[in-house]
Structure 1
Amino acid sequence: ESRVDWNPNMNISIVIPCYNEGPRLAATFNLIKEYFSHSQLDDVTLIFVDDGSTDSTNSQLAKFVDRPHINFAAVLITHPINRGKGAAIISGWQAVDADAYGFSDADLSFGLTALEPTIAALAQHNVVIAKRLAEAAEYSFFRRLSSRFLHFITRRLTGVKAASPQSGWKFITASALRNVLPKITQERFAFDLELLLLLQQNQVSIHELALPFTQHDGSSVKTRDGFRYLTDILAISDSLPFKLTTFYRQLAVLVTTTSLILYGWIIYYGYFFSDDFTWLWFGKRVLGDWHNIYALHAATFSAPVVNTYYALGFALFGASAPIFFLSNILIHAAVAWLAGLLAFEITGSRLNAWCTAILITIAGSAYETIVWIGANMHSLATLSIVATLYCTVRLYKTAHWRWLILGLVTQLLAYGTKEISVVLAPLILVTLFTLYKFFKLQTTNYKLPTLYFVISSLLGLSYGYYQYLMQTQGGGFTANHYAFSLTSLARIPFVILDLFLPLQVIMPFLTPLRATLLGLIILLIGFYLIRKYWSQPTVPLALAFCFFGILPTLFFATTNWWEPLSSRYTYLPHVGAALLISSILVASIKTNKRRVVHALTAILIVVSLAQLGYMIQTIGSEYAYVYKSGSTLAHAASLLDSTTTPIIYIEPNHPFRDNHTHLIGALNIYAGYQEPQIIFLEAGQHVDLSPSAMLLYWEPKGRQYQLTSHSDIFDKLSPKP
């Protein structure tokens, strides 16, 4: 801490900002006259700044200033409109020359008797800030709570060291103020914070002085000022210097903690069902023969990465549903973390990264990849896609071999996970477009970026052709899974809307006419937002995520053309939605469009609550059923022994009746059955159960799988015609 040069005869200018302070000015004037009537100070200037008041403030100040005063001078500055506390203080400081400058709230809560100890402290320090000896008891519980919350947020986000950064009594020597005053941008309540941070960066000596505080009624500080202050804190914090590794770590902790808070309950509530057993079975077979990594796959796509994931999971933890659900949550957190880093690399804004990561963490309509173990292939593919784009940006910024290798590896991982990765090549192109359009990156090493682009293009084209063959051979194009038509494109607005609001809630109320009108409204809003915010760096990439992420599943056959996609298919587009909303929100914060910020924040809170509510309702109804089907299937299979009961018959009326593979998988995992030992019966087919055979059937009333060795069960389940 540096010691300042002290002039015992220094003159002091004190700014008193006033906004609609008419009712309390008489008391303020009395305090001033009483203090200076016996004060030894004789070189003090009080600068009253009327900040656009609409009451009698200006007339009262004018009368007071025009009177003769003893031991102090009084000046009045008038703002025609309200500009904020910070603007008023700056106007006052710029109006006069002094050796030291200060400001006080209009009610003089710390009292003018604080001047003597303040001036004494200025002999040792560049800056003196008052802090309260005790918190005002007159404050309501809500105000005390909100004040402590804002102080906590302020210190965590900005690193300000002062315990009372919003103190209404601050004094600064002219030499210290001269270096920071031109850099101040905040004009309202965040002015104090920015001032202290600038002084802190200049490493000047800051001293906090404990003083008695008197609470006065009728404060002009309103609740909306707290929201404004919070918005300003975010903007200020985004411009502060920081350690990159600390930022990475903090972002990782945030998304992981938030994901566990929001979805940790699924670890205890959920269970395997349907394709989960299939993938576990594939994983078990991969452990027996690693060639099965490529040989085992679904009908329309190959997934060696998914097979490896389940093989390692099964080898380490067995068929442990809680572990796999925990893995789902951590994969989801990793997607949010990497997407946040991608936003940061493109925009240079930590605030954009925080917003993107938090919005993805909430998941919204894309919750299915967390609550359904088998759906995590979508989040695994998205993780590899986002990682690839992050490596792409880093490569074009650094031209380093490390990012080329990592980028190609993550591409291969994406292509080995799920067919939605066919959109990766277009996303890489849009990322490159973003880099050159907004940043005009210049690098002396064009070889690596060019090589990366060529290899990525070849990989993308090869994978696209491979997927075409897989879909053709697997029946994807011939089994009425797709409905290629122009009307399918009309689904785009509804799929986009479903990323923000649970569209299933209003589906029963939609008719073709209503759906058409709603689609037009969504398109108009979308075009307006794109036109207004196209200049934001992440907007093109966000739109690409939304459009290309939807495209592979857009042409699925549906009952109505306005139907949204299933939750798991919205996971990749959900990343784009988060990038888009973050761009709009951060741009509004940095341009001080507070009404937009507050409105958008309120909408996001309502929408997030609606999405979480819909998720909870869906899990409580649909998923409770499928979790029970999986747990009772696993329990029934664990009661069997393939050596003592070599034959198991399966009655056809069971959940997911068109999916026989998951039943084979469950019986193999828990009882060691091989496919020849498992016989699927046709509808109405009866067999005589020998002592060496059992029947696995679904009991609809109890909603559970059961076993029996009694042949008369067939008459109850499916009587002969």
Structure 2
Amino acid sequence: MSSEPTVPISLSLVIPLYNEVDSIAQTLHDACEALQSTGAATEIIVVDDGSTDGSAQAVEETGLPVRVIRHESNRGYGAALKTGIAAACYEYVAIVDADGSYPVRELPNLMQAAPDHAMVVGERIQYSHYSSSARNLGKAILVPLANYLSGIKIPDINSGMRIMRKDLVERYWPLLPDTFSFTTTITLSLLCAGWNVRYLPIQYAKREGHSKIKPVRDMIRFVILIVRTSTYFRPLKVYLPIGFGFIFIALALLLVRVFYGHVLNITTLFFFIAGLQSILVGVLADLILKLLGTRK
């Protein structure tokens, strides 16, 4: 380790581990080499999320200076990250997957940019080449939705390699789920709250083993969390379109009644009132957030 640090931060690297026996050893060797090259104060925390394939033993057999925390059962990707982040000693926390798909040797580059940003994210290059058609279709739906609700074009919404200020992660702790949606939620939380997020391109490799993401189930979860998180920070983005949509339906039904007389007045009135209520809820929620200072 060099006498003078080459990066300006101290860092805890958290690696969630679940049945990655074929790749975890190489990931740890690369991570140790990368962090030692910086000369900074660093640590590596591996959270074994109930692995059943001998992954935990593979970590011990490396003999590397890493901390291992074990979950008795599989609690989820986000839960493993939260366990590791809670145990982290340093002001900045990095996360990276254990499957060998992320270039952990590029961590020093992300560390260099960290002091001036709330979060630095590794933007995956050639990611779609290694994704299934179902996942690519899901992203084609989710990313535009997230871009609209956050008001920002997000280069990579759920990259598994990033560096974050630990205090900011703790600030939004109640919003962070125990599932794969963790990275998407922290991304939206920081962007919607107005924090500065930097994206740096990284090469993304084909993962070892099988992906644990279930496209249909996880896409539904992603949609729910995107809407929920955006409602928390920018409710007008959610409620105004819904409200105006209901009012538009009410006006359309009114025109149908005027010309054809086949629509009951109560139906038109229902959609009109629902639209007004949605708009009022959005306005009130936005005022409350401003009074509470939820945003940055």
Instruction: Identify whether the pair has TM-score above 0.5, normalized to the shorter chain.
Output: yes
Partner of 1:384: 269
Aligned to 1:60, what secondary structure does the other structure show?
A: helix
Q: Give the one of 54, 57, 61 matched to 2:55.
A: 57
In 2, distance between residues paired with 1:11 and 1:161? 30
Partner of 2:159: 167
In 2, distance between residues paired with 1:230 and 1:13? 30
1:210 aligns with 2:196: no
Partner of 1:243: 236
Aligned to 2:201, what secondary structure does the other structure show?
A: strand
Partner of 1:227: 220
Aligned to 1:230, what secondary structure does the other structure show?
A: helix
1:186 aligns with 2:73: no
Using a 3 Å threshold, how does the CA distance of structure 1 residues 386 and 137 change in structure 2: closer, same or farther?
A: closer
Q: After superposition, where does 1:335-484 map in structure 2 within 5 Å? A: 373-376=260-263, 378=264, 380-384=265-269
Opposite residue 189 of structure 2, the aligned amino acid is: L
Q: Give the one of 21, 36, 39 matched to 2:37.
A: 39
Opposite residue 242 of structure 1, the aligned amino acid is: P
Displacement, 1:240?
3.0
Displacement, 1:190?
2.1
In 1, distance between residues paired with 2:139 and 2:76? 19
In 2, distance between residues paired with 1:255 and 1:182? 37
Using a 3 Å threshold, how does the CA distance of structure 1 residues 389 and 160 change in structure 2: closer, same or farther?
A: closer
Displacement, 1:14?
0.8
Does structure 1 retain, via aligned residues, the 8 Å contact 2:119–2:165? yes
Does structure 2 retain, via aligned residues, the 8 Å contact 1:50–1:76? yes
1:198 aligns with 2:172: no
Task: Report which structure shows greater RCO (CA 8 Å, sep ≥6).
Answer: 2
Using a 3 Å threshold, how does the CA distance of structure 1 residues 331 and 136 change in structure 2: closer, same or farther?
A: closer
Opposite residue 20 of structure 1, the aligned amino acid is: N
Opposite residue 375 of structure 1, the aligned amino acid is: H
Aligned to 2:22, what secondary structure does the other structure show?
A: helix
More helix by share: 1
The alignment covers a number of residue pairs equal to 272
In 1, distance between residues paired with 2:35 and 2:274? 71
Does structure 1 retain, via aligned residues, the 8 Å contact 2:17–2:47? yes
Displacement, 1:98?
0.4
Partner of 2:114: 122
Displacement, 1:112?
1.8
Displacement, 1:8?
4.6
Aligned to 1:23, what secondary structure does the other structure show?
A: coil
Aligned to 1:55, what secondary structure does the other structure show?
A: coil
Aligned to 1:239, what secondary structure does the other structure show?
A: helix
Does structure 1 retain, via aligned residues, the 8 Å contact 2:189–2:233? no
1:14 aligns with 2:40: no
Aligned to 2:123, what secondary structure does the other structure show?
A: strand
Using a 3 Å threshold, how does the CA distance of structure 1 residues 31 and 248 change in structure 2: closer, same or farther?
A: closer
Does structure 2 retain, via aligned residues, the 8 Å contact 1:134–1:213? yes
Does structure 2 retain, via aligned residues, the 8 Å contact 1:160–1:196? no
Displacement, 1:147?
2.2
Percent same amino acid among aligned pairs? 22
Displacement, 1:50?
1.3
Does structure 1 retain, via aligned residues, the 8 Å contact 2:30–2:105? no
In 1, distance between residues paired with 2:28 and 2:275? 61
Partner of 2:292: none
List runs of 5+ in structure 2 lacking aligned partners. Answer: 282-296
Work out which of the two has the higher radius of gyration on C-alpha atoms and give 1 or 2. Answer: 1
Displacement, 1:55?
2.7
Does structure 2 retain, via aligned residues, the 8 Å contact 1:47–1:92? yes
In 2, distance between residues paired with 1:385 and 1:42? 62
Q: Give the one of 126, 139, 142 matched to 1:147.
A: 139
Opposite residue 129 of structure 1, the aligned amino acid is: V
In 1, distance between residues paired with 2:108 and 2:270? 64
Does structure 2 retain, via aligned residues, the 8 Å contact 1:18–1:57? yes
In 1, distance between residues paired with 2:123 and 2:35? 26
In 1, distance between residues paired with 2:25 and 2:204? 19
Does structure 1 retain, via aligned residues, the 8 Å contact 2:158–2:187? no
In 2, distance between residues paired with 1:89 and 1:107? 15
TM-score scaled by length of structure 2: 0.75
Does structure 2 retain, via aligned residues, the 8 Å contact 1:136–1:213? no
Using a 3 Å threshold, how does the CA distance of structure 1 residues 141 and 253 change in structure 2: closer, same or farther?
A: same
In 2, distance between residues paired with 1:16 and 1:122? 19
Does structure 2 retain, via aligned residues, the 8 Å contact 1:12–1:45? yes
Using a 3 Å threshold, how does the CA distance of structure 1 residues 200 and 36 change in structure 2: closer, same or farther?
A: closer
Does structure 2 retain, via aligned residues, the 8 Å contact 1:129–1:169? yes
List runs of 5+ in structure 1 lacking aligned partners. Answer: 1-5, 260-327, 335-368, 398-721
- Aligned-CA RMSD value: 3.6
Displacement, 1:227?
2.9
Does structure 1 retain, via aligned residues, the 8 Å contact 2:7–2:111? no
Displacement, 1:159?
4.1
Partner of 1:608: none
In 1, distance between residues paired with 2:169 and 2:53? 32
